[in-house]
Amino acid sequence: MAAQAQQSRYHANHVQTTDRVPSEQPLPEVLYIMGTGRSGTTILEILLANNPGFAGVGEVKHIFRDGFIADHVCSCGKPTSGCELWSEVLRRTAWSRQDCARLGDTVQDLESHQHFPLIWANLGAKQAREQYSLAARDLFRSVAAVRQCRVVVDSSKFAGRALLLSQALPERIKVLCITRSAAGLLKAFAKKNEGEQRPKGALAASAYYLYVLLCMRLVKWRLKERCFSIRFEDLNSNPDAVLAAVESWGGYSLGVARARIAASEAFDVGHIVTGNRLRKKGKVNFEPSTSALRRKADNVLAEILAPILETYRRVLGF
């Protein structure tokens, strides 16, 4: 009976019937990192999550599919089911396998790039959105309770997720938007043999760049001062200045990360199930570098497209 009741929490008709999960616990602040693929979202999360009061969760939009269903290995080296964070989150939320499959589908569908215009216009899928919001609150509450943190850093990247989370966690969400130069992104997407990160051709990468930057601009417009933009090139060349700017925007204290960068000390990756493959290293070093500023295109088409896209980026205010 209990299992049935719990399961029904995520059925459309019984969204608010039981309150077993940590709904009496305070919601943490969620610092959401929005960006294109290959634009430093995972490393930015790691820098932020290494400060007291913060915890990172990687591209947590995939936790249902990659973690709770497929049991992928977490960056701590254990499968999700044996990870001290994610096994405890699953225990606290009491999500059944069926709940996880359904929530994974809901998240995938609502946050997809093609769904963005509907989310922006606040149209349709009312029941799915209610389930989404309930699950998002349970997930972040549980993470905060297990990690004893005030701020959860989520680097899921998708623009639609920023809007959906701002509805699910009003007043508790801040969004960091990171963009990368078109030349750098085209080059990064051209790289083969990246395993889980599939390459894109210059035209496909350009279309992606045009669309995602436009979506992110719309999010910024909607969320106003709750959304702050940074550039991948600035983060690489002068991380201290970027973190200082994030501190004054968000009211955070990021002194530990800033000191660690200055001393060339390693950062803990934490418990990331889905994200850039650097998560698998367990510890990462962040060395400031200006190489991202000197990125040259590696084919003629990319060479033609990159400056046009870069102008577009500037026009959008990134």
Q: Report how far residue 140's alpha carbon sits from residue 153's, in angstroms, rounded to the nearest whole number.
A: 10
If one asks whether residue 76 binds Zn ion (CB under 5 A), the answer comes out as yes
Residue of 129, 153, 155 lying closest to 140 (CA atoms): 153
If one asks whether residue 61 binds Zn ion (CB under 5 A), the answer comes out as no
Residue of 50, 127, 138 lying closest to 93 (CA atoms): 138
With 0-12 / 13-18 / 19 or more C-beta atoms within 10 angstroms meaning exposed / middle / buried, residue 296 is exposed
CB closer to Zn ion, 150 vs 280: 280
CB closer to Zn ion, 78 vs 226: 78
CB of 268: closest distance to Zn ion in angstroms? Answer: 11
CB closer to Zn ion, 200 vs 271: 271
Build a one-symbol-per-residue string for 158-177: x at contacts with Zn ion by CB under 5 A, - elsewhere.
--------------------
If one asks whether residue 269 binds Zn ion (CB under 5 A), the answer comes out as no
CB of 68: closest distance to Zn ion in angstroms? Answer: 13
Q: Residues 122, 140: contact at Cβ < 8 Å?
A: no
Site for Zn ion in 194-253 (CB under 5 A): none
Q: Residues 152, 55: contact at Cβ < 8 Å?
A: yes
Among 21, 83, 136, 188, binds Zn ion (CB under 5 A): 83
Q: Could you tell me where the beta strands, DSSP code E, fall in 72-172?
A: 151-157
- Secondary structure (DSSP) of 158-188: -HHHHHHHHHHSTTSEEEEEEE--HHHHHHH
CB of 79: closest distance to Zn ion in angstroms? Answer: 9
CB closer to Zn ion, 65 vs 271: 271
CB of 262: closest distance to Zn ion in angstroms? Answer: 28
Q: Contacts with Zn ion: how many residues (CB under 5 A)?
A: 4
Q: Look at the alpha carbons of 156, 162, 167, 169 in this order and tell me if their dihedral is positive or negative.
A: positive
- Secondary structure (DSSP) of 23-67: TTSPPPEEEEEEE-TTSSHHHHHHHHHTSTTEEE-SSGGGIIIII
CB of 196: closest distance to Zn ion in angstroms? Answer: 18
CB closer to Zn ion, 83 vs 100: 83
CB closer to Zn ion, 117 vs 282: 282
CB of 203: closest distance to Zn ion in angstroms? Answer: 38
With residue 308 as reference, give the H or E element that holds it: helix 300-315
Among 271, 279, 295, 313, binds Zn ion (CB under 5 A): 271
CB closer to Zn ion, 58 vs 184: 58
If one asks whether residue 74 binds Zn ion (CB under 5 A), the answer comes out as yes
Binding site for Zn ion (CB under 5 A): 74, 76, 83, 271
